[in-house]
Amino acid sequence: MAEQYSDGQLLVPHFIAGKAAGLDRTELRRGEIVNPATGKRRGEVLFADAGLVAEAVSAATGAFRSWREASIAHRTSILFCFRELLVQRRRELAELITAEHGKTVDDALGEIARGIDVVEFACGVGDLLRGGYSENASTGVDTYSTRHPLGVVAGITPFNFPAMVPMWMFPVALAAGNCFVLKPSEKDPSASVFLAELLAEAGLPDGVFSVVQGDKEAVDALLQHPEVAAVSFVGSTPIARYVYEAATGGGKRVQALGGAKNHMVVLPDADLAVAADAAVSAGFGSAGERCMAVSVLVAVDPVGDELVAAIAARMAEVAVGPGDQPGVEMGPLVTGAHRDKVASYVTAAEADGATVVVDGRAHEAAKRAGYFLGPTLLDHVRPAMSCYRDEIFGPVLSVVRVGSFEQAVALVNANRYGNGTAVFTNDGGAARRYQREVEVGMVGVNVPIPVPVAYYSFGGWRDSLFGDLHAYGRDGVAFYTKGKVVTARWPDPAARGGGVQLGFPRSSG
């Protein structure tokens, strides 16, 4: 990435019409970028106002006609090239993510790999845009369907996957012929410009993909802009609800993915060593800042004591430290404020009567300069406690003990979130019953983080998703396109004319 500096400090720009933008706009607000592993300021990011958002949308509107008319082969050849560049430069991008988000470089490489999967899926859009054709639907009449891009579409993304979540959206949107305006998180904005530069290098025409940096002001400008046809949002539930209501109120198509509280249910017959490994991996990877992290472990009697002991033993081995150091498995939280909020849930849980089995507040790493909190295990958590009710989004695993399979399912189904869940068991019948009865969008059977592969779609139920269509996969193609059905008659030259007929057209009779 051609990093932009001002007075020796990193200054992350917008990206409009094929190049960095806004650097000369001294009146624009800015946000601070901090390295969470050190607590040191890395630089600043420019914030867009409504005028700057309008510039990006105008560039997109200007580019739309020729991008829509470009052949599918041309559009996908650019995505193939983008994929190659991304593979070549992924280490650089991963290090950039680590410097602003805090996750380990290996974890950042993982999110880039999952983003590349969606780019590869989008390269096959020709098959997915294929319509149907019915010859002689009525006598001499043929019918066929086609799919069309919406125009200018916007994506608003969270801090926790600064490369992957944008890539859940724009590869499919661009392949289908839309122009895309991305508003990434202001906490780790550099990845978005890196991706924009790679797209430009791959040959994407100017204006087809833009980045506007910023906060609520930029989001509101996108939501209110009449030329923005659709909005994809990923973030916390309150903002997802706000975006959904504001954008649908303005007649836009919206998919707004929200927060989560993912339960991992361990049945009495499960292999407890496997379950304990999975709980630690899925609970503390990326410091629990994943929307598919396991944050609640539901231990079905009598596995509680043995499982808690096995998890606590494994937690002692988790290496916590700066994400760019070899051997580190868990990095810091994204900001000091967020670390303090997560720690406050542990304090509240203790006061509410939960047992703090492993206390991340007392971890060695918590004494470092960055925003560290060690992995934390809470036992005997009850549904009324705030650590159970709220999405904590940190390295805190709450164990709720229940007496039966039925109680486990009832607990999961009563939760306001329905993003992901997993069941651990060796009983195929119990697993099948669980995946049928549980009211959650993504279910893992002995798989703790069941993120669907790129050719399925990602999305939760209840407060985890507002809108009808899930992200990427076939739902993504449906979201970014609209259908048309053509009914055509080419009169037989030998039998022209049939006279005027005022009756309603029908295919038979």
| Binding window for ligand NAD (CB under 6 A); candidates: 57-65, 94-102, 180-188, 424-432 | 180-188
291 assigned to active site: yes
Q: Report how far apart the first and last C-alpha atoms of the chain are (Å, whole number).
A: 66
Per-residue binder mask for ligand NAD (CB under 6 A), 128-157, x = binder: ----------------------------xx
Does residue 255 belong to the site contacting ligand NAD (CB under 6 A)? no
Kind plus residue range of the DSSP H or E element containing 143: strand 141-149
Per-residue binder mask for ligand NAD (CB under 6 A), 80-119, x = binder: ----------------------------------------
Q: Least Å distance between CB 329 and ligand NAD?
A: 21
Amino acid (1-letter code) at residue 467: G
Q: Is 42 helix (H, G, I), strand (E, B) or coil?
A: strand
Of the pair 259, 332, the CB lying nearest ligand NAD is at: 259
* Residue (of 231, 242, 208, 245) closest to 66 by Cα position: 208
Kind plus residue range of the DSSP H or E element containing 294: strand 294-300
Of the pair 151, 214, the CB lying nearest ligand NAD is at: 214
Does residue 186 belong to the site contacting ligand NAD (CB under 6 A)? yes
Partners of 43 in the β-ladder: 10, 33
Of the pair 94, 276, the CB lying nearest ligand NAD is at: 94
* Residue (of 339, 266, 257, 272) closest to 312 by Cα position: 272
What region, left, alpha or beta, does residue 43 occupy, with left being phi > 0 and alpha being psi -120 to 50 degrees? Answer: left
Q: Which of 13, 115, 177, 259 binds ligand NAD (CB under 6 A)?
A: 259
Of the pair 425, 464, the CB lying nearest ligand NAD is at: 464
Task: Give 3-state DSSP helix, strand, coil % of the chain, rounded to 5.
Answer: 40, 25, 35
Does residue 210 belong to the site contacting ligand NAD (CB under 6 A)? no
Q: Which of 60, 78, 112, 260 binds ligand NAD (CB under 6 A)?
A: 260
Does residue 183 belong to the site contacting ligand NAD (CB under 6 A)? yes
With beta carbons less than 8 A apart as the criterion, state whether 256 and 301 touch.
no
| Binding window for ligand NAD (CB under 6 A); candidates: 97-105, 173-181, 255-263, 297-305 | 255-263
Taken as a whole, the chain contains a residue count of: 509
Helices (H) and strands (E) counted in the chain, each on its own, are 15, 24
Of the pair 370, 418, the CB lying nearest ligand NAD is at: 418
* Residue (of 187, 18, 224, 201) closest to 100 by Cα position: 187
CA distances from residue 360 to 274, 294, 316, 342, 397 in whole angstroms, order as listed = 23, 17, 10, 10, 11
- The DSSP code for 362 is G
Q: Least Å distance between CB 223 and ligand NAD?
A: 8
Q: Least Å distance between CB 293 and ligand NAD?
A: 9
Q: Least Å distance between CB 268 and ligand NAD?
A: 30
Amino acid (1-letter code) at residue 270: A
Of the pair 30, 148, the CB lying nearest ligand NAD is at: 30
Q: Which of 76, 98, 104, 160 binds ligand NAD (CB under 6 A)?
A: 160
Active-site choice (81, 123, 179, 291): 291
Does residue 235 belong to the site contacting ligand NAD (CB under 6 A)? yes
* Residue (of 58, 479, 484) closest to 253 by Cα position: 479
Residue 162, preceding peptide bond in cis (omega within 30° of 0): no
With beta carbons less than 8 A apart as the criterion, state whether 146 and 132 touch.
no
CA distance 239 to 382: 27
Q: Which of 236, 281, 407, 435 binds ligand NAD (CB under 6 A)?
A: 236
Q: Which of 320, 464, 472, 473 binds ligand NAD (CB under 6 A)?
A: 464
Q: Least Å distance between CB 263 and ligand NAD?
A: 14
Does residue 239 belong to the site contacting ligand NAD (CB under 6 A)? yes
Q: Least Å distance between CB 207 and ligand NAD?
A: 22
Does residue 287 belong to the site contacting ligand NAD (CB under 6 A)? no
CA distance 83 to 88: 9
Catalytic sites, residue numbers: 291
| Interacting residues with ligand NAD (CB under 6 A) | 156-161, 165, 183, 185-186, 215-216, 219, 234-236, 239, 242, 257-260, 291, 391, 393, 419, 460, 464
